Amino acid sequence: MSSFGLRAGRTLAAALLLASLGAASSADAAERTFRIGFQKYGTLILLKGKGSLEEKLKPLGVTVKWAEFQFGPPLLEAVNAGAIDFGTTGEAPPIFAQAASAKLAYVANDPPSPKAEAILVPKGSPIQSLAELKGKNIAVAKGSNSHYLLVKALEKGGVSYADVKLSFLTPADARSAFESGKVDAWSVWDPFFAAAEAAGARVLTTGDGIVENHQFFLTSRDYAKDNEDVLRVVISELRAVEDWVAKDPKAAAAELSPLVGIPAPLLATAIARLGLGVGPLSPEVVAAQQRIADTFLELKLLPKPIVVEDAVLKLKTAEAAQ
């Protein structure tokens, strides 16, 4: 198996993204730009839709720029390359990003969302159990949270990782392959999971009882060193939007749907499966991340051992998330 190190193409893409987003002008120290990477996943996109962060950061002389990514690994490559300052991913991407660079830092996390990802099969598929995935072609985003779900689900079903064919595809390409019958199963997260389920896909298993599926908020140590005030604000606003969503998920989905580009019914389903309550990483969460890192190392998918604790931000920012 090849490692998940930075590829030349992705490094170039991150460099181009840095050029397109632009850096804060050194000539005007009072003006700062906070560059956020987001996905159609989790609560960061809800904060973008709500629009409150921009107002809260104005008094600090900070403007916000948003950059969308299809999934976690490219987002964190951009963090490591200095192209963006902050972003969110599931469990697995930070493992590989930390192996690639010591700059990566965990800021906070949300509670587990094991039901927010699943392994899907087509409606008419004969596959009825995890054991029956042996020898099948499965689509998954390489290095994503659902990649780890697949690893653990195969283990639960008594299937060796080497006994399946993996098609490493972005969510958009995976959906096309899944709907056209080019793959037998698809391991994916919300809202892609919710959309496929609504279109008739059958759930072989969710992550419930298999993985925890935390959402993490991450930055670089370089950014955190001089911008702790900005990070405190974004965590505070994430907490506020999560509290708002938790009070009336359906109303929140209806309001945010046109702003985030996800149909309200699908967004409501995805929100209902989210763990809400942003906070600092507990020792238990750090230990769980370490188990994930050790699992990928055993499978020879991680290029070297890492110590997750080394990447946890030990600043007032993390404490302020309590």
Structure tokens at 4: 């998940």
So what's the pLDDT on residue 315? 58
Instruction: Give 322's pLDDT tier (boundaries 50, 70, 90).
Output: very low
Q: Do 154 and 144 form a contact (C-beta atoms < 8 A)?
A: no
So what's the pLDDT on residue 14? 41
The two domains 8-113+214-320 and 117-206 share their CATH topology (first three levels equal) = yes
Domain ranges for the chain, please list them: 8-113+214-320, 117-206
Residue 96 dihedral angles phi and psi, to the nearest 5°: -75, -35
Instruction: Report the alpha-carbon distance of residue 195 to residue 239 in Å, rounded.
Output: 26
E-strand stretches of the chain: 32-38, 62-68, 86-89, 104-109, 117-121, 137-140, 165-168, 185-189, 202-206, 216-220
Question: Listing from the earlier edge strand, what are the strands of the sheet with 137-140?
Answer: 165-168, 137-140, 185-189, 117-121, 202-206
Q: Do 92 and 147 form a contact (C-beta atoms < 8 A)?
A: yes
Q: Do 34 and 63 form a contact (C-beta atoms < 8 A)?
A: yes
So what's the pLDDT on residue 191? 94
Q: Do 91 and 290 form a contact (C-beta atoms < 8 A)?
A: no
pLDDT digits (tens, 9 = 90+) for 106-132: 999 999 999 999 999 999 999 999 999
Of the CATH numbers 3.40.190.10, 3.30.70.890, 3.20.140.10, 3.40.50.300, which one belongs to the domain with range 117-206? 3.40.190.10
So what's the pLDDT on residue 30? 53
CATH number of 8-113+214-320: 3.40.190.10
So what's the pLDDT on residue 312? 97
Residue 169 dihedral angles phi and psi, to the nearest 5°: -135, 150
In this structure, the strands spanning 185-189 and 137-140 are parallel
pLDDT digits (tens, 9 = 90+) for 228-271: 999 999 999 999 999 999 999 999 999 999 988 999 999 999 99
Give, in degrees to the nearest 5, the angle at Cα 301 between 190 and 137: 55
| Residue 166 DSSP SS3 | strand
Instruction: Report the alpha-carbon distance of residue 158 to residue 155 in Å, rounded.
Output: 5
Mean pLDDT, the chain, rounded, equals 89
So what's the pLDDT on residue 31? 79
So what's the pLDDT on residue 319? 45
| CB count in 10 Å sphere of residue 68 | 13
Instruction: Report the alpha-carbon distance of residue 112 to residue 285 in Å, rounded.
Output: 10
Residue 200 dihedral angles phi and psi, to the nearest 5°: 115, -5
